[in-house]
Every structure is written in C-alpha cells, then in structure tokens.
A and B are shown apart, each in its own frame.
Chain A
Amino acid sequence: MSAYLSLKEIWRNKGRFFLFSLVIALIAILVLFTAGLGEGLASANKEYLEKLDANLLVFQEGTGYSTIESRLDYTKVKRISRVDGIADAGPIGFSNAEIYLGDDVAALDISFVGIEPGKPGLPAPIIGETIRSRQSKVVMIDERIADAANVSVGDYITIKSTQSTDDKYFDLRVVGITSGQQYFFQPSVFVSLPVWDKYRPKADPNISSSRPVTNIIAVQLENPADAEAMSTRIEAAVADIETTDIKTAYESSPGYSAQQSTLNTIKGFTFLIGALVIGGFFQIQTLQKVPQIGMLKAIGTPNKTVASAAIMQIIFVTVFGVAFGGAVVLGLALGLPSSVPIFFTGTSIGITVISLLLIGPLGGMVSIRLALKVEPLRALGM
C-alpha cells in the first residue's frame, strides 16, 4: 500500500521528483569528486611510499619522519642490514628535477629518485626491465612521464638539473616503465644512487659519490608481523636514527594532514548540506501535504503506511539521485586526463555512496516525524 502511494505520487509528479533527484545527483557528484580529489591528491603525495616494497622506513633521528629533512650516511645501510631479523635494506635519495622536452615546450617536473639496484626501493617495471647496474646511465620512468613526454623503452630522456648556478642536461636511456609512482605530486624517475648523486641538483657539481648520503632506508623484515619489535631493535642497534611504518611516514609528509583534513571538512560540509537540502525538501513537501495526510488518516490509513510511504519516496529519490550522480562521475572519471589528480578507489566510493544513501533518510527523518504527528481533525479543519 505504501509503495503504491509513494510510487503513484512520484509518477504523477515526475518533473518535481526528477528535479529533486538532480539536486541529490549534483550533491553526489560534488561529494564523489571531493572524495576522488582527496584520494588523488593523497595518492600524488604518497604513491611511491605507499607502494614501497618495505615494512619499515628508517629516518635520521629528530627529523619527524620527513624524507626531505632526513639525511643518512651510507654506512648505516650496512649496519641496519646486519641487525638480526632484517631481510634486506635499500637506501633511497629524493630530489626534484625536470625533463627537458625542447626549447619551446615547458619542462616536465619530476621526482628524481635514487635507489640501489636489487634492493628495496625500486618498483617493478610494467614494461621493459629493471635497473640492474649501479653505473649504467639508465632510468625507469613512471608511465605518466611516458605519456606526457611520449617516450618508450629504449628512448632517451634529458634530465635538466641545476648544479651550482647552471642548468645541466643529462641524457639517460629508458629501460623500464613503472605504474603509479608519483611522489610529492610529481611522477618519478628512478636511477641508481651513483647516477642520482651525480645528476641531482646540487651546489657543487664536482662532488659526487658512489655511496652518497641518502634520505631514508627502506627495510624489509624477515617477519613483517614483528615490525614493532624490530623497530625498537633497529633503533637500539644503530645510533641517530628513528624508524616508522610506511603509513606514519607519508602521513608525516609536509602538508599531507592539512590537505586531507581540508578535503574531509569540505566533504563533511557537503554531506551536511546534502542532509539539510533533502530534509528541507521533504519537510516542505510534507507541510504542503498536511491536509492530504490528514484525510488519508481520517479514512483509516494506518500511521505505519503513511510513514513507510514517506520513507520509500525519500529512498527512491536518494537512490536515483546517487545512481545518476555516480554514473556522471564515472563517465567524467573515464574521460579525465591522467594529469587531473582525481583517483577513485572501491573503498572510498563505497563509503561515500553509502553515506550519501544514508543522508536521505536521515535528512527526511524530521518530515516523517511531522507526517506521523499530523492530526486528521486539525489537518482537515474540522
């Protein structure tokens, strides 16, 4: 009975309900895009670290897990590797550089990452092969660079690096392409540590080492479940270091938490606005329908039927709106260029969609309460 009433009303007022569903769809689009943007920006910030094949990261003590501030001399790699329970350890150095694409074309900003071949820190290639030699002037690049610079395995890229006060250009051959390896909002170029130290931007171009000072050390454990105890053990065995897990590391990166809390606040407010808009709409609609609800009750319609008809309408309108908005977002997401930092994960979409579906009934709660409280005699003016 309640389904009959609610669907008939929707059907006979298609335009009104469609427009309202459209409002919900717009809210859904906004929330989903904010969620996608949050994921995308977070991912652009942390992607490399998040996908790192390591259980613990080692930083210089007192640097607050900042990859930029942390400095570790090469001897620490060996000492950490010798700690009981460590499977492998790989030093990683970060700097920023550019890829030169021609005089008339803007250079492409990149994260220039130095790794130790065969050690933790070097991602697996999706095309081509990995870096095998410490001395070879070869690189692995993120697929975004391959797309943007239109290069493939076997091609050369030119790294533009400022050393002293001069711009220097270094040609490196691409041996492999990796997927999803952004760091600090820039796609990564991986080279061996000696090559990295030689070509990275620095004050003195003549100083470089095959065992350079790096930023962090990625550690693989024999027993990953034992991370906490191992963290303590490493810190006890090697002086002037601190260790942490990957999540804490990227959450500690500059601006990460500020950025995420900003986006979460926007998302929260959009949800709140959504709930208020839905609540307001159904409240106004119920107020307009008071005499009609009163009449329905006066002819013997149970309160339960009146309430469930209202709930069904709210659910129908919300589901339709969210589905419509979701479809639009999906279509837009497929058509967006990879440079737009919007990224959707099943979990974030799932949570967002469920939350959107819940705000409908939540917002409509007040109107349902109002509908239940309608007094037939008063509503009919008797």
Chain B
Amino acid sequence: MENKYILETKNATKIYDSSGMVVRAVDDVSLHIKAGEFVGLVGPSGSGKTTMLAMLATLLRESEGNLIIDGQDLGEMSDKERTKFRRERIGFTFQSNNLVPYLTALENVELMLRLNKKSGKKSRELAKALLTRLGLEDRLNSLPSQLSGGQQQRVAIARSLIHDPSVVLADEPTASLDTERANQVVGIFADLIHEGNRAGIMVTHDLRMCKYVDKVVQMVDGKIAHIITDRAEINALANHSEFDAKPAAVATYPEPILLKKPTLRQSDLSPVITGD
C-alpha cells in the first residue's frame, strides 16, 4: 500500500546528557502528517516542540527512533546529504532573523532558488508572482530594514515555499507580530500549505493561531500529551485560549479569558483570495 504520509516520526527521541544529567527533550514521539495537512505544535516552554522542529529540519540528529520525510529516513543521511535535503525539500520560517539584510525582498525569495541552482528570468517571475500573492508587489525591491515585521514574515514565508518543498516548518512565526499581522501571516501560510499539498508544522505559543491548522499536537515534557483533529475542538481551543498553552490545559479550559477576540479582516487576506 502506498504511504500517504509525507512526514512521519516513529518513536522519535532526543536525549541530552549534560554533566551526567539526562534530559529527554523529545521522548518517544510518533507523528504522521499527510500532504496538505497543517499541524500546530503547541505546548509550554521546554516541552520539546522546538527540538522536534529542529530534528525535522535536519538541524539536529535524533537519539532514538526514526524521522521520515518523503520516504527518506533522515537518520540515515550524512551531514552533507542532510544539508542538501534541507535545501531542496524543506521550507523554514524562523521567529526572527529570517532574511538576509543586504538582499531585497525579491532577492531573499530568489535566494532559495539560487541555492538550488535555479536562477534566471523564470525564477525571478516565480518569486515575483509569489510575493505579489502575498501582497508585497510594491515592496519587491525593498530591503528587509525597509519592511515592517509582518511584511518581513511574509517574505520569509515566500522564501520557505518558493522551491516547492514537501515540508514547511515555522518556528513561532507570529512571535513578534501584533494580533492583526499574526492572523494575516498565518492565514496566508495555511492557504499556501493547503494549496501546495505540503505538510506544514507550526510551533506556536499563541493558541489563537490554531484556528488555521488542521491538527493540534500538544507536547508536554517531550511527549505528545494531546492530539486534536476535530475542527470544532480546534476552534474551541483557538477561541478560548490564553496566550500561553499550559500543560494538559486542552481538555480543561476554563471560561473564555481572551483579552481580545481575534478577528480576521477580509482585507488582510485579499491578495491571497484575489490572486488565486
């Protein structure tokens, strides 16, 4: 039977041994993500979600278990192969320091294609089209320092998708954005993951952003505590959450304590909608 999952982890474990103190940062995590599925990885600080993301990004080797992307076991690759794999198959958006400061928005997106030895007019047009879709057609030649935080994150999203990766990873992409910008960025991100039939994982502390994901995985102490796939439950979580995901809080959320109800303005997403 054909494997329908783009990304799989089987008992993935990361153990740190610091001065005799053994810490299982990621402990026996098994995950399956299909094409076109966007997963929110939540949990308190130190729960292992960033470590998990780093392992999936081939930036960190697992201590035990297997991580498989596109049928390839990451653990069996050499460092050089992992760098190549990361460049070709993975898209990554970071919390900050996402862009090369001396490259324009367009050049930053093109960079990913250049790294994959694709450059030229066609690549440029592709990058332009994606940035236009993200509402940045007027900022193509702006340097990162001339862009707002939200615009920078949208450029980073374009860069993480331009080379047609199988897996797209985002580490706290909304950490430095206000609510409006955060909704805008994650909304676009989700749309592009769904459209491209990619597997997407977003690490976030802001549970409100979960309304854009298809599955929520909550990690606590390196292990998976809950997995929510039901849309109604996900929406309930997103609409009744604090800013920080607390351990085991998913099932026992109290009364709504949102400071401000997040509203997604149609205008924020208009480039995505009209461009399609």
Binding site for B on A (CB under 8 A): 1, 4-5, 8-9, 11-13, 291-292, 294-303, 305, 376-377, 379-382
Q: What are 26 A-to-B residue pairs whose CB atoms are below 8 Å?
A: A4-B114, A8-B103, A9-B102, A11-B102, A13-B102, A292-B100, A294-B97, A295-B97, A295-B98, A297-B83, A298-B59, A298-B94, A299-B86, A299-B92, A299-B111, A300-B87, A300-B88, A301-B83, A377-B54, A380-B94, A380-B95, A381-B95, A381-B96, A382-B50, A382-B53, A382-B95
Query: In which size bucket is the chain B interface?
Result: 20 to 34
Cβ-neighbour of A296 out of B54, B59, B100, B107 (below 8 A): B100
Distance in Å from the Cβ of A232 to the closest Cβ of chain B? 66
Which among B80, B98, B99, B112 has the greatest number of chain A C-beta atoms within 10 A? Answer: B98
Distance in Å from the Cβ of B106 to the closest Cβ of chain A? 12
Contacts of B90 in A (CB 8 A): 300
User: Judging by beta carbons under 8 Å apart, are B97 and A292 in contact?
Assistant: yes
Distance in Å from the Cβ of A306 to the closest Cβ of chain B? 11
Interface flag for B60 (CB, 8 Å): yes
User: Judging by beta carbons under 8 Å apart, are B100 and A300 in contact?
Assistant: no
CA distance A42 to B157 in the complex (A): 66
The 7 closest A-B pairs by CB, nearest first: A300-B87, A12-B102, A291-B97, A300-B86, A9-B102, A382-B50, A295-B97
Nearest opposing residue in chain B for A291, CB measure: B97
Interface flag for B84 (CB, 8 Å): yes
CA distance A298 to B53 in the complex (A): 12
Distance in Å from the Cβ of B139 to the closest Cβ of chain A? 16
Interface flag for B171 (CB, 8 Å): yes
Nearest opposing residue in chain B for A4, CB measure: B114
Contacts of B95 in A (CB 8 A): 380-382
Cβ-neighbour of A295 out of B50, B54, B94 (below 8 A): B94
Contacts of B50 in A (CB 8 A): 382
User: Given contacts A1-B115, A8-B102, A382-B54, are A302 and B83 in contact (CB under 8 A)?
Assistant: yes
CA distance A8 to B60 in the complex (A): 30
Contacts of A297 in B (CB 8 A): 83
> A291-B96, A300-B90, A301-B87 known; 11 other A-B pairs, CB under 8 Å?
A4-B114, A5-B100, A292-B97, A292-B100, A298-B57, A298-B59, A301-B115, A376-B59, A377-B59, A382-B53, A382-B54
Which among B83, B92, B96, B112 has the greatest number of chain A C-beta atoms within 10 A? Answer: B83
Contacts of A380 in B (CB 8 A): 94-97
User: Judging by beta carbons under 8 Å apart, are B54 and A300 in contact?
Assistant: no
Cβ-neighbour of A299 out of B84, B103, B159 (below 8 A): B159
User: Judging by beta carbons under 8 Å apart, are A298 and B92 in contact?
Assistant: yes
User: Judging by beta carbons under 8 Å apart, are A12 and B94 in contact?
Assistant: no
Distance in Å from the Cβ of A297 to the closest Cβ of chain B? 8
Nearest opposing residue in chain B for A12, CB measure: B102
User: Judging by beta carbons under 8 Å apart, are B107 and A8 in contact?
Assistant: yes
CA distance A303 to B257 in the complex (A): 48
Distance in Å from the Cβ of B24 to the closest Cβ of chain A? 18
User: Judging by beta carbons under 8 Å apart, are A292 and B101 in contact?
Assistant: yes
CA distance A376 to B50 in the complex (A): 13
Distance in Å from the Cβ of B104 to the closest Cβ of chain A? 9
Contacts of B86 in A (CB 8 A): 298-300
Nearest opposing residue in chain B for A11, CB measure: B102
Which among B59, B60, B84, B88 has the greatest number of chain A C-beta atoms within 10 A? Answer: B59
User: Judging by beta carbons under 8 Å apart, are B102 and A299 in contact?
Assistant: no
